[in-house]
Amino acid sequence: MLEARLDTANLFKSAVDAIKDLVQDCNFDCNDSGIALQAMDNSHVALVSMMLKAEAFSPFRCDRNIALGVNLTSLTKVLRAAGRDDTLTLKAEDAPDVLNLVFEATAQDRISEYDLKLMDIDQEHLGIPDTEYAATISMPSAEFKRITTDLMAMSESVTIEATKDGVKFSSTGDIGNGSITLRQHTPVDKPNETVEIELSEPVALTFSLKYLTNFCKAQPLSNQVKLCLSAEVPLMVEYGLEGGSYLRFYLAPKIGD
Amino acid sequence: APFQLDLYNYFLTS
């Protein structure tokens, strides 16, 4: 059986909120190393890969592999009932029909309990290759959100160009064009504001802003976001969580002209 | 017009 308890429901609420508009039905694959999810959007443009390691929970117990087939719209409805600071416990039997969720507000001695019906989801597990990216950019997640929102007003796509001088986000649309350039920036006193660019070779790729703004819903999960780019391969956008857990999005580039 | 890489095929073959 599965039993996994989070100190604050916040993490799970934000993670589900960040992916629910991209994918509808997906399996939460549980085993002794944690809870993983991999799902692709219907148009095959974006892939979500989430790993919540066992260490993120206390306690965590899962004796065998359990796939929880969940409709994310339904899960969102249930999670709305959880306070951000409630503890959240997920429980399921070995061959479950339901996922049991318990929210506890210890200060108020209030316990709420929900059973969410599960579904059978036949999902192909795709292999995500280890990629040596040409450019890896670490930047504040709030800054990335601001850039995608601002450029969305100009165009439906953005070109991300990484060079030794910095990273440039630019968009051209009917009303004109705009760009934002960030240079490497490592303030000693404010590590959350760090912009770091690791570059093995310059790279420029174009992406749909609709998807990128969607990914930015994960912003509350992490102060920093990592963008990994290589020519003609999917962009990886990573929100790192404590203890090696993560929420990653892969986005297909727009190729050709 | 630019086309978008099909991620399904990408991850299936890689």
Position B12 scores a pLDDT of 79
Residue A179 corresponds to which tokens in the numbers above? 């760009």
Position A126 scores a pLDDT of 83
- A220: cis peptide before it, omega within 30°? no
* Tens digits of residue pLDDT in A187-245: 999 989 999 999 999 999 999 999 999 999 999 999 999 999 999 899 999 999 988 99
Q: What is the 3-state secondary structure (H, E, C) of B1-13?
A: CCEECCHHHHHHH
- Cα(A257)–Cα(A173) distance, integer angstroms: 15
CB-closest option in A126, A129, A257 to B2 = A257
Position A257 scores a pLDDT of 58
Contacts of B13 in chain A (CB under 8 A): none
Contact B14 A47 (CB under 8 A): no
The model's confidence at residue A57, banded by pLDDT at 50, 70 and 90, is very high
Contacts of A233 in chain B (CB under 8 A): 10
Q: Is the ipTM of this complex over 0.90?
A: no
Would you give the distance in Å from CA A136 to the centre of its chain? 17
Contact B11 A47 (CB under 8 A): yes
Residue A41 corresponds to which tokens in the numbers above? 């959007």
